[in-house]
A = this chain, B = another copy of it.
Amino acid sequence: MKDKHPTKTRPSRAQWLREHLENAIVDGHFAPGDRLDPVALARDYDCSRTPIREALQQLEASGMVRVYPKRGTFVTQLGVADLVERFDVMAELEGMCARLAARRITSEELSALRRAHEACRDCLDGSDADHYYHANGTFHHLIYAASHNAFLTQEATRLHAILKPYRRLQLHAYHRLQESFAEHEAILGAIERRDADAARQAIQHHVQLQGNRFNDLMATMPQLRETRPE
């Protein structure tokens, strides 16, 4: 077969900005509700508004930001109901990933997953929430990839990124790290046993629990909506 579009070219300025801004949002540099001022960003990144605008448009399409016409662009601020909906869908997608992963994971992928799990344990020992946060992301992403469904992986990754800023908020809850790790263990065990249904159930439980935990957290601090990073 012939490759129809084999050319690999360096990413455009707008593309680079999209990734950069997405990371900035996911990593909490911009908080939900913050305004993204195109002219300020253009100054910061030393370019015109055009690539900034394109990057913001793409971020809107992926749900990271919300553009209010003639009003400005703001980092998506999800209400409790919105989050519940997204965690429900996330649980379903991750459940599908785990189900497929249990059937399709290769030995190399399984080794990587075990290593990621051990990395989580290391962060656990030091009660290093931020590092656990990162290792946790790796663990989940490896399961997505092990589904061997590129589209599913892409969608799960996107939704995971959207929820990441909110997930961060519940990390420091007491014993949450230990609980999370124990749930990971159940997931990994089910995948190792190639028990697709158990893996699906375990990870769905894991994600739903995150959603519920977050829901509780929101209920106890309703003033959280105005949080600014500065």
Q: Contacts of A69 on B, CB cut-off 8 Å?
A: 9, 11-12, 15
Q: Mark A133-165, 1 if CB is under 8 A from B, else 0.
A: 000000000000000011110010000000000
A151 touches B85 (CB 8 A): yes
Q: Contacts of A9 on B, CB cut-off 8 Å?
A: 69-70
What is the chain B residue whose CB lies nearest that of A88? Answer: B149
Q: Contacts of A7 on B, CB cut-off 8 Å?
A: 68, 71
A195 in contact (CB, < 8 A)? no
B5 touches A68 (CB 8 A): yes
Q: How far, in angstroms, from A155 to B53 measured CA to CA in the complex?
A: 24
Given contacts A7-B71, A69-B12, contact A150 B85 (CB under 8 A): yes
Highest count of chain B CB atoms <10 Å: which of A7, A61, A70? A61
A31 in contact (CB, < 8 A)? no
Partner of A152, one of B57, B89, B151: B89
B92 touches A151 (CB 8 A): no
Q: Mark A197-224, 1 if CB is under 8 A from B, else 0.
A: 0000000000000000000000000000
